[in-house]
Amino acid sequence: MLTVLTNGTFFTGKGIIKDKALLLENGIIKAWVDPVNISTEARVINHEGHYIVPGLLDLQIYGGGGHLFSDDPSFAALTAMATGLVRSGTTGFLITLATNSIELFEKAIDVVRDNPHPAVLGLHLEGPYINPIKKGAHIEQYIKRPERKEVAALLKRAEGVVKMITLAPEMCDPEIIRLLLDNGVIVSAGHSNATYKEAEAGYRNGIQTTTHLFNAMSPFHHRDTGLPGAAYQADMAYASIIPDGIHVDFAALAISKKVMGDRLFLITDAVESSTGAYPHVRQKDRYTLPDGTLSGSAITLLQGIHNCVQYANIPLDEAVRMASTYPARLLGVPERGEITIGQKADLTIFDEAFEPQHVYIDGVVYA
């Protein structure tokens, strides 16, 4: 079946195309075509000036569709979460679990491993191998130093569905980082009180990225720039940032973008209301614990892109790359971050108000 997407502004991940239409055949991107030379056999979709961009990827999100996954790691919760996030314009995400019992992690691993979904890219375990000094909203009783036997058992059980682990580099021996890397896990530095030297050593040992830059980490100080300074200097490492203006001031986001360029990417860090182990409470534009501790955002990736444009002076096409192209590269699926001939369509389509209109995943329209 031939489908042609017309009258849109295409952000390909490499550039902007306005005067062409995109031809899909059975969900595969086949060609850029002149709008006046469209086959009469094709189904033509007029997108009325909408933006058509590589699918948005969220590598840190705890809930969606009314479900906090750690409250109920089940097929039903996974499906509801995926449905809700796809409707918001996100085509792929890592289900994220904050520090919890190993038994809870095992249950979540089993569910994600045994129930593949095209939008679920795997699991991001944020903890438990973090520094209690920078625990943020995490449950301190479950925080621990990693033991090789326990980590190896989790990885064996996961069979590849654990894609990322956030840990504090000062709390982990290099052999743990190497074990994770050897099993294809992205290692991220976060919830850490590392000095610059400790963090820099972590990056030298293979840590590839940084979790929610500035939040729950040693501060950037002129005498010791801590984890943020080491992240700035680690030329091969990425960092995620929460673009809600609450977790991080937009000026800090703009400065970090100038320093890090294509190494800085967006996450939502979004949660859902809960009465479970993590009792998140919606407080207008954010989530907190009952004691007021900031515990999660209330934005979508599309809203984060809009914030980057409106408040951090980042061009729209670059803000889109921060939510698609760059996380796709980190995750090892660069094709999902570009509109490229020969690839299955993975697209987010939104209007000038940053409202999602349609989503393609693996060539199939989901919303």
Q: Which of 58, 71, 244, 269 is catalytic?
A: 269
* 269 noted as active-site residue: yes
Where are the alpha helices (H) located in 144-277, listed in sequence order?
A: 148-158, 174-182, 196-204, 226-233, 250-260
**How far is the C-alpha of 43 from the C-alpha of 76, rounded, in Å?**
34
Sorted by sequence, the CB contacts under 8 Å of residue 241 that are 6+ apart come out as 212, 213, 214, 248, 253, 256, 264, 265, 266, 267
Quickly count: other Cβ atoms within 10 Å of residue 347's Cβ.
Answer: 25
**How far is the C-alpha of 172 from the C-alpha of 148, rounded, in Å?**
10
Residue 107: exposure state from Cβ atoms within 10 A (0-12, 13-18, ≥19): middle
Token pair belonging to 264: 């800085």
Strands ordered across the beta sheet of 286-288: 281-283, 286-288, 294-297
What is the DSSP pairing of strand 239-241 with strand 209-210? Answer: unpaired
**How far is the C-alpha of 69 from the C-alpha of 92, rounded, in Å?**
16
**How far is the C-alpha of 210 from the C-alpha of 312, rounded, in Å?**
20
Quickly count: other Cβ atoms within 10 Å of residue 286's Cβ.
Answer: 19
Residue 49's alpha-carbon distances to 10, 35, 87, 111, 304, in angstroms, are: 10, 14, 20, 40, 21
Task: Report DSSP state, residue 137.
Answer: T
Active-site residues: which are they? 269
